[in-house]
Amino acid sequence: MWLCDLFLWFDLKGVLLLFLSIFLVVYLLNKKDPANFPPGPPGLPLLGNVFSIEAKQPHIYLTKLADVYGNVFCIRLGRHKTVFVSGWKMVKEALVTQADTFVDRPYSPMVTRIYSGNSAGLFFSNGHVWKRQRRFAMTMLRTFGLAKSSMEQSICEESHYLQEAMEKEKGEPFDPVPFLNDAVANIICQIVFGRRFDYSDHIFQSMLRSLTELAYLEGSIWAFLYDAFPALMRHLPGPHNAIFSNSRCLEMSIRGEIERHKLDLDPDNPRDYIDSFLIEERHNKNTQLGFDDGNLALCCLDLFLAGSETTSKTLQWGLIYLIKAPLIQDKIHAEIDRVIGQTRQPTMADRTNLPYTDAVIHEIQRMGNVVPLNGLRMTAKDTTLNGYFIPKGTSVMPNLTSVLFDKNEWETPYVFNPEHFLDSKGRFMRREAFLPFSAGKRACLGEGLARMELFLFFVTLLQKFNFSTLDGVELRTEGITGATRTPYPFKVYAKAR
């Protein structure tokens, strides 16, 4: 009997050695890089550099790697290679000069699971579907947003709801984040859903909670791990599972809005993005352009995420930087009082007459660094960057942090300094390396709307309030990094001026 057990042990040992040998051969074949491929840090067998990445501040770690390996380098996440592009010149080369080469998205197990095999919404689709859906979304944003004179009025009206919520705190310290989230989300809700929500609406609040958690987790180390080891991570407990539960909750709420729209849809009088999509769906039933109910829910999810998270986070960082620099806040108050006064409603036409305020808003966007990396790209053909060969199908990540803090482009890159956007005569000055909305063909499609919101929300709030925080409290600026960069929890006083 013991002899049979011995033979069984040797058979099992042989099978394990065979599997290990095959595994190592596959690893070594995958490890081999083409000639003149970008360099990068050494990684562990099979795991790559996954555990080298700083989990709390991955954008800082990746920016520092450029100092060692140059502005084009490679790291490995599991067996997958990702080329990182840093600095204004190289990022511009990839996103603008070679826009067609770096326009596609690579395959992502996480995204595929979120989107359940549908047309991948607005941000993760490729080819004709992406082009058609992006063009359609931009048209709808103009039609129901920027092109409507009422949109300025809607933002100013929402600002009044925001002011009222802050006034109800009666001079006591409060967390401004929920109020800012509510106000900003209501603007995109009016464009996508055709209505705003009361700040106490429980469905609205549930959507915002799911949105906040999803935005963090999608850019966390957990998302990297899921895409690197999907077969394993799919069966393991952990925070990554909340990516999918939160996306499902948001999708269910959006599907409810879609069904509501179907009940009273007027093909001759679309009220919003959903109405227009449903009408377009009727005209494109036999085409492969993504006009179906499943993709409508995902496109709405993308618009809701992009139209809420980034602008709200920028406003949050704005309060922090203005509280930390009270003299700058005083200068904004003085400029607003001189140009608009404390009673007249601001308009976008006032922006040219408020150069200092405009410069401060831009500097908040730069220092706030709300989208610290960017969406992954994939090379559509063999190409070169900085002299390195990058084969077709390679995943590429532009590092926006490295652009917004590029020491070759900014006089004081790590100091909050509105003078970055002012010329010697105090006039507002555009800067080419200002890329909070990315650049090229995948640049933020809601950039115009976001600029309008930031200006009108900031001006109406500073027209009304002076912001400060608790005595002896030093507000933190390092942030919590996911897909977006979020301030650590803080409280403010909003004192009526």
**Is residue 351 within 8 Å of 459, Cβ to Cβ?**
no
Partners of 389 in the β-ladder: 384
DSSP assignment of 26-89 equals: HHHHHHPPPTT-------BTTTBTGGGS-SS-HHHHHHHHHHHH-SEEEEEETTEEEEEE-SHH
**Is residue 404 within 8 Å of 427, Cβ to Cβ?**
no
Per-residue pLDDT band at 15 (split at 50, 70, 90): very low
Calculate mean pLDDT across residues 218-234. Answer: 89
Q: How does pLDDT run across 421-437, given as a tens digit for each residue?
A: 999 999 999 999 999 99
Task: Give the angle subtended at the CA of 362 by the CAs of 341 and 416, to the nearest 5°.
Answer: 100
In-domain check, residue 7 = no
Given a cut of 70, whether residue 354 has pLDDT beyond it is yes
Given a cut of 80, whether residue 26 has pLDDT beyond it is no
Pairwise pLDDT comparison (283 vs 158), residue with the higher score: 158
In-domain check, residue 463 = yes
The reported pLDDT for the residue numbered 147 is 63
The reported pLDDT for the residue numbered 8 is 41
Q: Of 278-287, 427-436, 450-459, which range is least confident?
A: 278-287
DSSP assignment of 116-149 equals: TTS--TTTS--HHHHHHHHHHHHHHHIIIIIT-H
In-domain check, residue 141 = yes
Report the candidate in 437, 440, 486, 435 with the shortest Cα–Cα distance to residue 219. 486
Per-residue pLDDT band at 9 (split at 50, 70, 90): very low
Average pLDDT of the chain, as a whole number: 90
Q: How does pLDDT run across 303-313, given as a tens digit for each residue?
A: 998 889 999 99
pTM higher than the cut 0.85: yes
Calculate mean pLDDT across residues 43-55. Answer: 83
Q: Which helix (H) or strand (E) holds 235?
A: none
Residue 444 CB partners (closer than 8 Å, separation 6+): 306, 310, 437, 438, 450
Task: Give the angle subtended at the CA of 228 by the CAs of 69 and 124, to the nearest 5°.
Answer: 90
DSSP assignment of 324-335 equals: H-HHHHHHHHHH
Calculate mean pLDDT across residues 273-302. Answer: 90
**Is residue 496 within 8 Å of 167, Cβ to Cβ?**
yes
The reported pLDDT for the residue numbered 31 is 55
The reported pLDDT for the residue numbered 415 is 97
The residue with tokens 């106490």 is: 200
How far apart are alpha carbons 263 and 266 in whole angstroms?
A: 9
3-state secondary structure string across 164-182: HHHHCCCCCCECCHHHHHH
In-domain check, residue 120 = yes
**Is residue 162 within 8 Å of 200, Cβ to Cβ?**
no
Calculate mean pLDDT across residues 56-77. Answer: 93
Calculate mean pLDDT across residues 156-170. Answer: 95
- Collapsing DSSP to helix, strand or coil, 282 comes out as helix
Backbone angles phi, psi at 473, to 5 degrees: -95, 130
In-domain check, residue 180 = yes
CB-based burial, 240-261: b 16+ in 10 Å, e otherwise? beebbebbebbbebbeebbeeb
Given a cut of 80, whether residue 49 has pLDDT beyond it is yes
Give the tokens for residue 251. 């999708």
Report the candidate in 71, 157, 95 with the shortest Cα–Cα distance to residue 442. 95
Q: Which helix (H) or strand (E) holds 413?
A: none
The reported pLDDT for the residue numbered 6 is 38
Total domains, the chain: 1
How far apart are alpha carbons 402 and 61 in whole angstroms?
A: 11
Q: Domain range holding 80?
A: 47-496
How far apart are alpha carbons 64 and 61 in whole angstroms?
A: 5
Partners of 480 in the β-ladder: 486
Calculate mean pLDDT across residues 332-358. Answer: 96
Backbone angles phi, psi at 227, to 5 degrees: -70, -30
In-domain check, residue 28 = no
**Is residue 49 within 8 Å of 397, Cβ to Cβ?**
no
In-domain check, residue 32 = no
Calculate mean pLDDT across residues 186-191. Answer: 96
**Is residue 433 within 8 Å of 409, Cβ to Cβ?**
yes
Calculate mean pLDDT across residues 470-492. Answer: 94
Backbone angles phi, psi at 468, to 5 degrees: -150, 180
Per-residue pLDDT band at 2 (split at 50, 70, 90): very low
Which CATH number characterizes residue 302's domain? 1.10.630.10
Q: Of 45-49, 80-84, 178-182, which range is least confident?
A: 45-49
